[in-house]
Amino acid sequence: MTVEKLREAAGRPVEVVDAADGLRPALNVCRARSAVVVRLAEGVGPAEIGAGLAGWRRSMVVSDADGLTTVDPRDAVTRRWTAPDAVLCLADNEFLQSNDGWALPDEEFASRSHVLGAEVRAFVLARLAPRPGVLVWDVLAGSGAVGVECARLGAAVIAVEPDPVQCVRIIANASAHGVDVRVEEFELDAPSLPRPDAVFVGRGEIGAVKASAAVSARRVVVATESVDEIVPARDALVAAGYEVEGVHWTASRLLDSGFAPAVPVTVLWGSKK
């Protein structure tokens, strides 16, 4: 009955998750979707949900012995609740996600220069394994194409990009594809962010690779066009305890006049031992 009341309060389609299956997966669904009902469990109440939604634009409707109460997530942390049993997490807007495939064409993303080509992006997505219940960091995100694709596959996503112009593009690309990507306009500050399940580093800058590897995500994927960055990035992942593999891509697309020039890209991926 409680879930049905919260569905009615949402006024839009909702997903239902069970906190008994773990707080982090439940939070990541709330971070990724526009309307989610969380069935609470021992040790997971409105305070834990509210704290986990810091940084995301969400409101909460809490069901407890006193009925339904709408609160800001920050207020849910400090308020006293009487036998709460479920929480509805709501975004400001409903996300109109499509299911028309993945590794979308490059022209689907606004970009200052080129985005990571669809062929390489498909491989990167396979290594990141985005899905509902996980959190992905898109570090040095550029246009945010990888992060947007991860969000389209159901993952919660934080895009970290110090260039303010690119941050505007990330927001526009996420909106165009009906997903919610949290954008952080700074160099990676790992301790300030919730711990990810997977990290993509869009450029092989050694500082970003080291900081990403240090959070001990299950998977870290690095893409670079610079030959000089390959060995330092690999060594940084190995030093952080990852088993590292890599591939050098030179995919050339077929045009009416022949094949387009290839842009070589090296992709490294580390799996936690």
Report pLDDT for 185. Answer: 96
Provide CB contacts within 8 A for 241, sequence distance 6+.
216, 272, 273
CA atoms within 13 A on the CB side of 101: 7
Residue 124 pLDDT more than 90? yes
pLDDT reading at 5 higher than 90: yes
Residue 53, pLDDT > 90, answer yes
- Amino acid identity at 26: A
pLDDT of residue 22: 96
The predicted model gives 4-14 an average pLDDT of 94
Sequence-distant (≥ 6) Cβ neighbours of residue 99 within 8 angstroms? none
Single out the residue of 154, 144, 135 nearest to residue 176, CA to CA. Answer: 144
Q: List beta partners, residue 67.
A: 64
Query: What pLDDT shows up at residue 94?
Result: 87
Q: What span, in angstroms and rounded, lies between the C-alpha atoms of 111 and 21?
A: 39
Judge whether residue 252 has pLDDT over 90. Answer: no
> How does residue 236 score in pLDDT terms, banded at 50, 70 and 90?
very high
Q: Domains in the chain and their CATH numbers?
A: 1-91 (3.30.950), 106-271 (3.40.50.150)
Q: Are strands 265-272 and 219-224 parallel, antiparallel or unpaired?
A: antiparallel
Q: Between 63 and 259, where is the model more confident? A: 63
Provide the mean pLDDT of the chain.
94
Q: By mean pLDDT, which of 82-91, 93-102, 235-244 is the weakest?
A: 93-102
Please give the pLDDT value at position 258.
84
pLDDT at 192 over 80: yes
Residue 99, pLDDT above cutoff 80: no
Residue 203 has pLDDT above 80, yes or no: yes
Q: In angstroms, how far apart are the furthest CA atoms of the chain?
A: 70
Q: Are 107 and 169 in contact (CB under 8 A)?
A: no
Phi, psi of 142, rounded to the nearest 5 degrees: 60, -125
Mean pLDDT across 82-108: 88
Alpha-carbon span 146 to 136, nearest angstrom? 10
- On the question of pLDDT at 43 being above 70, the answer is yes
Q: Where are the alpha helices (DSSP H) in the chain?
A: 2-10, 23-32, 46-52, 73-78, 118-128, 145-152, 164-176, 206-213, 230-239
